[in-house]
Amino acid sequence: MAGQRRFDEQAVFNVALEVLELRGYKDATMVELAKATGVQRGALYNAYGSKEELFLGAFNYPAGKFYEQVAHAS
């Protein structure tokens, strides 16, 4: 199905943050991220557009989930 991610986004974000911690933002590559996550590089670019957007998503994901839970609790 087009537009639907075929990978566990939370798992990708967790691995991306691990790679960032080990390699640093500047030295981490999309090839490295693809290998570490098991998601093809093209799929990562299609989903996030850039390394920067992937890392921003990884940092913002927990806050988004928290706000989603708060909204459903109201």
Q: Which superfamily does 9-73 belong to? A: Homeodomain-like (1.10.10.60)
Q: Write down the mean pLDDT value for the chain.
A: 89
What is the 3-class SS of the chain, one letter each residue? Answer: CCCCCCCCHHHHHHHHHHHHHHHCCCCCCHHHHHHHHCCCHHHHHHHHCCHHHHHHHHHHHHHHHHHHHHHHHC
**pLDDT beyond 50 at 17:** yes
pLDDT digits (tens, 9 = 90+) for 20-50: 999 999 999 999 999 999 999 999 999 999 9
* % of the chain exceeding 90 in pLDDT: 72
Question: Which residue in the block uniquely carries the two structure tokens 């989603």?
Answer: 68
54-64 mean pLDDT = 87
Domain ranges of the chain: 9-73
Residue-level pLDDT at 7: 93
Q: What is the pLDDT of residue 12?
A: 95
